[in-house]
Amino acid sequence: MSTTTNSPAHPLHPDAILDALDPEQREVALALTGPVCVLAGAGTGKTRAITHRIAYGVRTATFKPTSVLAVTFTARAAGEMRTRLRELGVVGVQARTFHAAALRQLGYFWPRVVGGAPPRILEHKASVVAEAARRVGVSVDRVAVRDLSSEVEWAKVSLVTAEDYVKAALVDDRPAPSGYDHQTVARLITAYEDVKTERGVIDFEDVLLMLADMLHSHRQVADEVRSQYRHFVVDEYQDVSPLQQFLLDQWLGDRKELCVVGDPSQTIYSFTGATPHYLLDFTRTYSDAQVVRLVRDYRSTPQVVHLANQVLRRGRVPGALELVAQRPAGPPASFTTYDDDDAEATGIAARAGRLVASGVRPSEIAVLYRTNAQSAAFESALADAGISYLVRGGERFFQRKEVRDAIVLLRGAARSADPDEPMPEQVRDVLTSAGWTEQPPAARGAARERWEAMQALVGLADDVAAAAPEDAPATMAALVAELEERASAQHAPTVEGVTLASLHAAKGLEWDAVFLAGVSEGLMPISLAETDEAVAEERRLLYVGVTRAREHLELSFARSRNPGGRATRKRTRFLDGLWPDDPADRRGRGRAVRGQARQQLTGEHDVALFDALREWRLSVARETDKPAFTVMGDATLAAIAELKPTSVAQLARVNGVGPAKIDRYGQTILAIVAEHAG
């Protein structure tokens, strides 16, 4: 289970490590033992805090670097953590995603525990899900296979078996995908596991599950892992699933050397099985935990930070941190209403062009939207404006043929490189032979994308050379090693173009300028968000989008879909009172859910009844060991306390009360209402 790394930078003195931190970050770095919970708001330097904590612990000999396992959720974040540790002179720390760490350990122990080589990992579930559907007699198309694959994944990361699926889905008020009933999905989950077994393959969730079971069932394996890894760091802890927590528990054993970092306000993956429960309840799990709050926002201007805080404050988000801007003032956030989607795309492309003309690099501009289907209009508008762009979530950088070919050429050139010639010049010579030119081609499309990919390699060569100490200039071999490490982590260099991305794909990223497009009801929140919990997550998603911006932030929506169409769209309720020249009180807006007209509310409710309903909710939360807001949100309880329904039909018209909640709580709620009415 050993590892190799590139040569480190010169190790820093422990005091120098601390001197680079603000008071709260320093508190994190000094909290080297025992359970530690870092609540870190967007842009507050959480990666700096935890990497400096690791470096300080190593430099003070509190722990050995090889005894630290730092896990996060994306290969990019893990790669960034390794890079920062290397810059701090620390090597040997394992910084990996949950899956990468688990796969490494599973591959190491499998021959000893099971025998032979581990099973082949299934890259995509689609073919197996389609076969499972055929076996249970279900007709599926491509969209249904995708939705069913996601549901199979949710069940596995939630530690829900086929036998328990129906009950678990009802408890979570989770609709069955693609119109199928829960019983059918349960049978499909069983068939899916059978097909996998017959084909001799495992999926990515099995990697975590099998390793966790191996550690749980084989004491010798657990002892060996626990003797190596004594200190654990978990980033983005608000996104941990029950399966990942189960594996983490096996890694830990009965120890408490755990530092978790997260932000409940950035919980946006509940639909995949992620839950903030473990973060919010960390101090209940570890009563002696040290809690540190990072609220100094170094990323965004006060104007952006103010809007972000307001989005959360108006939604009463549990555990929300109030950010404090540290940057100088910038331009105000702008709000634009367009006639139709085409006008919005064209307008954003024009504004992006003006930013580029003013000196903002295209790679520092992003257009973010709720659904991937929205990207096409922006791709067309940017192309028409002659502005380069890349769609995040498309073909991975290191999988592109021109990139793979270029790395082969660079690897060959490294073997015979002239040590006296500057490395960036050698790289340019090599890539020129592969078709790279100093100036971009006039053509758009594939030719421009190939040039931009190779230009990114040139830019990386310049960055590596600039970071090298004067007495040890960067070499071709060092660049190739950097590329190989980045390729293994899918940590792509910067491609010069405007980024188009969904709000989910933008998590963890930041740009100088951000356009939040399509902030209208039906898209934000998405029309599928029918419960209070789902709507609350949509609000958090908007917050994530706002906090991606460093300086320039523009929010927009279109009143109609097509030119000349009816102007029926309304901007999102999440910006009530924040959108200029718009009434602050929009509580009267109703919406149709499941075909029923929702009641209009005034906001005036029976306080005593509301308190009684909250007491009832708290008792349910304690009995089920769930956060109170997942039972029923405050907005729903307030609506019940105002409308005072006397029948199931009236209760069903309250926003946030669906069939599952009526089945579970309906009669109890009606009894509480009746008691107060009497």
Nearest to 85 by CA among 508, 397, 77: 77
Q: How far is CA 149 from the centre of its chain?
A: 19
Q: What is the pLDDT of residue 24?
A: 95
646 is in an annotated binding site: no
Give the type of residue at 636. Answer: T
66 is in an annotated binding site: no
Q: Is pLDDT above 80 for 651? A: yes
Please write the tens of the pLDDT for every residue from 235-247: 999 999 999 999 9
568 is in an annotated binding site: no
Please write the tens of the pLDDT for every residue from 193-203: 999 999 999 99
Confidence grade of residue 3 (pLDDT, cut at 50, 70, 90) = very low
Q: Is 202 helix (H, G, I), strand (E, B) or coil?
A: strand
Does the pTM surpass 0.85? The reply is no
**Measured between alpha carbons, how far is 573 from 571 in angstroms, rounded to an integer?**
7
51 is in an annotated binding site: no
42 is in an annotated binding site: yes
Q: How far is CA 595 from the centre of its chain?
A: 32
**Measured between alpha carbons, how far is 221 from 659 in angstroms, rounded to an integer?**
47
Distances in Å between the Cα of 477 and the Cα atoms of 413, 423, 461, 467, 537 are 9, 9, 11, 15, 46
Domains of the chain (ranges, CATH numbers): 14-104+209-292 (3.40.50.300), 123-202 (1.10.10), 324-395+497-575 (3.40.50.300), 397-489 (no CATH), 607-676 (1.10.150.80)
Q: What is the pLDDT of residue 604?
A: 65
Q: Is pLDDT above 50 for 140? A: yes
536 is in an annotated binding site: no
222 is in an annotated binding site: no
Nearest to 71 by CA among 242, 244, 235, 239: 235
Phi, psi angles (nearest 5°) of residue 562: -115, 155
125 is in an annotated binding site: no
Phi, psi angles (nearest 5°) of residue 379: -60, -45
Which of 72-81, 213-222, 612-621, 652-661 is modeled with the greatest confidence? 213-222
Q: Is 507 helix (H, G, I), strand (E, B) or coil?
A: coil
Distances in Å between the Cα of 174 and the Cα atoms of 171, 273, 413, 537, 668 are 8, 11, 56, 14, 21
Please write the tens of the pLDDT for every residue from 553-606: 999 999 998 888 888 999 999 999 899 865 544 443 433 333 333 344 555 678
Q: What is the pLDDT of residue 442?
A: 63
> Could you give the angle at which helices 341-357 and 375-384 cross, rounded to 10 degrees?
50
Q: Is residue 233 within 8 Å of 69, Cβ to Cβ?
A: yes
